[in-house]
């Protein structure tokens, strides 16, 4: 049984990607490489940058089927517009105008079913690309990358998830920042969520939003405080008061921060940080065994 974990944060810049990549490495060592990493930050997937020897294994274009209205057949009855939950079909019968706003369309197919006059056909539009990478450790990395200008991040994530293999013991999903639809799509099938935050007023504010979302989705979660030592104590007080599980605190160290800013995440890891990741890894493995 695969244990699916999302690594999420209410805001960007908390170090969610470095946590994801480090956990991938530690868990791969612990579980004889039976771990996959899925980069769902489709607007700017960058997990692969931390693996110097990453080799592309597979690349597939992700397409969306978009409806098109044949004005020769259309009677301007407005049925398709009524069926569209996303207000993507404006119809003005008096002007004999019917169109599909492709940036609002979610490719649900309802309009094609609704039309009794065979006036709607569908055509494919490229919205992104899926790449899978072979890595020196683990079962590899898969990323979904949104086409520039496309608003279909959620759909790219959904399609990317179809390439995830169920053969690994653990799959880590590096979620996009924030609490909107792409994040929900990423974490919706996960068994557990790791919430990465930083001890600053901004980190705390956005973590609270994320906690609200996770409670709404009824997802169990634990918290990693990154850049510990910076900022104030309020994040700790909040975690303690609410009784949330603190999985670990990763100390802020300037020299290591500059190392990973240069992509050298796995070089010269300070012992304090290595110890923290090892402890978090043990906690995750015990959760997997409890599932």
Give residues in contact with ligand SF4 (CB under 6 A).
Answer: 67, 69, 74-80, 83-84, 86, 88-89, 91, 98, 100, 105-111, 114-115, 117, 119-120
Minimum gap (Å) between residue 90 Cβ and ligand SF4: 10
- Closer CB to ligand SF4, 52 or 68, in the complex: 68
For residue 238, what are the contacts with CB-CB under 8 A and spacing of at least 6? 204, 207, 208
The minimum distance between CB 61 and ligand SF4, in angstroms, equals 20
**Of 88 and 194, which has the nearer Cβ to ligand SF4?**
88
Nearer to ligand SF4, 184 or 285 (CB): 184
**Least distance in angstroms from the C-beta of 99 to ligand SF4:** 10
Q: How far is the CB of 20 from ligand SF4 (least distance, A)?
A: 32
Q: Using the minimum distance from each CB to ligand SF4, give the nearer residue, 75 or 165.
A: 75
**C-beta closer to ligand SF4: residue 56 or 113:** 113
Phi/psi of residue 180, each to 5°? -90, -170
HEC string for 27-96: HHHHCCCCEEEEECCCCCCCHHHHCCCCEEEEEEEEEEEEEEECCCCCCCCCHHHHHCCCCCCCEEHHHC
**Angle value at C-alpha 282, between 277 and 284, nearest 5 degrees:** 90
Residue closer to ligand SF4 (CB basis): 71 or 230: 71
**Whole-number Å distance between alpha carbons of 154 and 105:** 12
Q: Pull the structure tokens for residue 115.
A: 């039309």
User: What does the alpha-carbon distance between residue 252 and residue 237 come to, in Å, rounded to a whole number?
Assistant: 19
Work out how close the CB of 159 gets to ligand SF4 at its nearest, in angstroms, rounded to a whole number: 16
Comparing CA positions, the residue from 187, 218, 170, 202 lying closest to residue 6 is 187
Closer CB to ligand SF4, 38 or 119, in the complex: 119
Cα–Cα distance measured from residue 211 to residue 205, given in angstroms and rounded to the nearest whole number = 10
For residue 72, the minimal CB distance to ligand SF4 (Å) is 11
Residue 77, C-beta contacts closer than 8 angstroms, at least 6 positions apart: 116, 117
Q: How far is the CB of 157 from ligand SF4 (least distance, A)?
A: 17
In which residue are the tokens 């706003």 written?
101
């Amino acid at each position: 049984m695969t244990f699916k974990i999302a690594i999420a944060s209410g805001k960007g810049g908390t170090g969610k990607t470095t946590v994801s990549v480090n956990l991938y490495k530690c868990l791969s060592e612990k579980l004889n490489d039976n771990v996959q990493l899925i980069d769902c930050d489709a607007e700017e997937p960058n997990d692969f940058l931390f693996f110097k020897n990453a080799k592309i294994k597979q690349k597939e274009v992700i397409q969306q089927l978009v409806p098109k209205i044949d004005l020769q057949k259309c009677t301007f009855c407005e049925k398709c517009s009524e069926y569209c939950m996303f207000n993507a079909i404006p119809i003005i019968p008096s002007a004999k105008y019917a169109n599909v706003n492709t940036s609002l369309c979610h490719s649900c197919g309802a309009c094609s079913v609704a039309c009794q006059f065979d006036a709607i056909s569908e055509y494919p539009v490229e919205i992104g690309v899926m790449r899978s990478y072979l890595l020196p450790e683990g079962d590899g990395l898969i990323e979904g990358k949104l086409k520039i200008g496309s608003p279909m991040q959620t759909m790219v994530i959904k399609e990317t998830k179809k390439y995830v293999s169920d053969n690994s013991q653990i799959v880590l999903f590096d979620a996009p920042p924030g609490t909107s639809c792409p994040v929900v799509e990423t974490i919706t099938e996960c068994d557990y969520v790791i919430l990465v935050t930083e001890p600053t007023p901004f980190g705390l504010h956005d973590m609270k939003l994320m906690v609200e979302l996770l409670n709404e989705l009824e997802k169990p979660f634990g918290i990693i405080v990154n850049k510990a030592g910076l900022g104030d104590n309020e994040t700790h007080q909040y975690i303690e008061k609410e009784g949330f599980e603190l999985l670990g605190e990763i100390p802020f160290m300037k020299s290591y921060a500059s190392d990973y800013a240069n992509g050298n995440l796995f070089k010269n890891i300070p012992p304090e940080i290595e110890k923290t990741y090892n402890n978090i890894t043990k906690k995750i493995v015990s959760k997997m065994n409890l599932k």
